[in-house]
Structure 1
């Protein structure tokens, strides 16, 4: 069995093309790239050799075997361990909505499906949706019908159009919205299914959805109250 991870790479923005070319050469043709800003103090920036605060954040889905390969090459070929280059880390994925989406995101990586993530006692999950830009409200409308309280949208640029045609049977535009929804674990499957049904490949949103276990939270009381209120309202109608 294999594990699936969301690999996040944070680099100085002027290195974006170099890293994207590197990842493509290693077989990671499907990615999302968003702009970011660093917040470290000047002395920290100087110590690590970082130039300014303009960053790019790259998202890829990798298996544990691919991560081992990429991690080794990041150090050897991209010199990521040298101060000022960037950082990369992985977060375990617990589930992906549909076999087509799995094949598209892993892009030919060797993967043997097993049970969902070993983090089975988590109270919350982060549902991540990748949709065509401008359709985030369609995604959230679907999610709210099954007790999702709200989400956060990040504008990104996607790659892997040819892979989308091969694995999904659809053409995807590069401009993307990434929607992050934190929800109770027991609501995760309903939310993912609702998004797939109402804003999935057959819709203009062309959404892909997966989830990540959340090990701990703070500040979730209001969201819990909203979800509970929505649940009671739906049950009474």
Structure 2
């Protein structure tokens, strides 16, 4: 597929709406927003011009065509290079489960469908599942049946979901859960398909994967 990225933005909560408005102007619908808190020591905070404030964390899928223009706007309009404004970074997406989910996540962006992108010599992938709240059990049951181990769940709110019914055939509620599953790259497609086919349809699951370039703490999985 066309080169896709998982855009992560961390900023102070009062400026969240300004970032959302900026992304919207480029046709990027932020799929999830959640909260966080800074953990830097006071000396670092002072050096960077930051304060111990609550943070907002925004997640979105963007295309390679969108990123250069967004990056320029973040610098010029949001002045993101000024200490204390926030940070934004992108991670390559290796695959998305299903054409409808792909079109939904990139609806207003330039997208040219190509073969699935890969990074050489990656042994693991991080699977991310965006789902309606309350269906984690169904998702993990389907994933484990296809060989997955455990998962981690993050609570978040969905944004930019107005067109979800048209693409996914289901109304996606605002309360979301983000499920993170690390799997072997060789098992990734089977696990993603199991979630898409067998998890409760009311979950409205959207699943995609990010390449994991290195790991620590997966020795037991390596030895199996």
Q: How far did residue 196 of structure 1 move?
A: 0.1
User: Where does residue 39 of structure 2 map in the other structure?
Assistant: 39
State the alpha-carbon separation in 2 of the partners of residues 134 and 38 from structure 1: 28
Q: How far did residue 19 of structure 1 move?
A: 1.3
SS at match of 2:203: coil
TM-score (norm: length of structure 2): 0.95
State the alpha-carbon separation in 2 of the partners of residues 131 and 10 from structure 1: 22
State the alpha-carbon separation in 2 of the partners of residues 74 and 88 from structure 1: 9
Q: How far did residue 214 of structure 1 move?
A: 0.4
User: Where does residue 9 of structure 2 map in the other structure?
Assistant: 9
Q: How far did residue 53 of structure 1 move?
A: 4.0
- Shift of the 157–112 alpha-carbon distance from structure 1 to 2, 3 Å rule, reads same
State the alpha-carbon separation in 2 of the partners of residues 147 and 95 from structure 1: 18
The size of the alignment, in residue pairs, is: 224
CA contact (8 A) 2:2 2:115 kept: no
Unaligned runs of 5+ in 1: 229-237
CA contact (8 A) 1:12 1:51 kept: no
User: Where does residue 156 of structure 1 map in the other structure?
Assistant: 156
User: Is 1:205 equivalent to 2:203 in the alignment?
Assistant: yes
- Shift of the 2–147 alpha-carbon distance from structure 1 to 2, 3 Å rule, reads closer
CA contact (8 A) 1:128 1:211 kept: yes
Unaligned runs of 5+ in 2: none
User: Where does residue 192 of structure 1 map in the other structure?
Assistant: 192
Cα RMSD (Å)? 1.5
State the alpha-carbon separation in 2 of the partners of residues 88 and 184 from structure 1: 28
